[in-house]
A = this chain, B = another copy of it.
Amino acid sequence: MPGGRPRSFDADTALDRALEVFWRHGYEGTSLTDLTAAMGINKPSLYAAFGNKEELFAKVLARYLDGPGAYSAEALDAPTCREVLERLVHGAVDLTAGQNTPHGCLCVTSVHARGPDAHAVRQDAVAARKAGEAALRRRLEQAADLPSRYEPAALAALVHTICDGIAVQAAAGRGHDELRQIGDLALRALLD
């Protein structure tokens, strides 16, 4: 029964192109023209495949979270508390100051999209951030080796705050190696 002209582009690679653009220029700094140019499709194709700009961004954010941002969940599988935090901090540095990717974190830049049309987008980013922190808190609650001076919730919040700071620094132009040193210093202060 179905038929119809087949799609001339791959939806996943198109999403990856959109991710690159949103990541580099932010939600508000990205126009539909930027998107269609990068994705290699026209506006009607974009709308048919992904909905409007907001919905496209939601799909892009999801792809970001379980692509480049997947380290954040995977870090929780590390055996020791120290290793979990190391992987989170080092992962944040690598993600936000990578060589072949835009600088900064999509989830952090999107929190700062505060124009009238960016409400939904900001909410999406805030929700993703809350989920990530809650996961870390649960991991720390069940840790046998958490230093006794820390409450899980408080440490989880602080670690996420430090990772946010790293993302800001990366977005402001600080390079990977310098950020790595900052991260290591933070880890030492927290755990030694």
Interface residues of A (CB under 8 A from B): 24-26, 28-30, 104, 108-109, 111-116, 118, 125-126, 129, 150, 154-155, 157-158, 160-169, 171-174, 178, 181-182, 185-186, 189-190
Quickly give the copy total for this chain.
2
Task: Closest B residue to A169 by CB, please name it.
Answer: B161
B164 adjacent to A168 (CB under 8 Å): yes
Q: With the chains together, A163 CA to B169 CA distance in Å?
A: 11
B residues near A150, Cβ cutoff 8 Å? 185
* A/B interface sample: 19 pairs, CB < 8 A: A26-B112, A26-B114, A26-B115, A28-B115, A29-B115, A104-B112, A111-B171, A112-B113, A112-B171, A154-B181, A154-B185, A157-B169, A158-B186, A161-B166, A162-B186, A164-B164, A164-B165, A164-B169, A189-B190
C-alpha gap A92/B187 in the complex (Å): 21
Q: Provide the residues of chain B in CB contact with A154, threshold 8 Å.
A: 181-182, 185
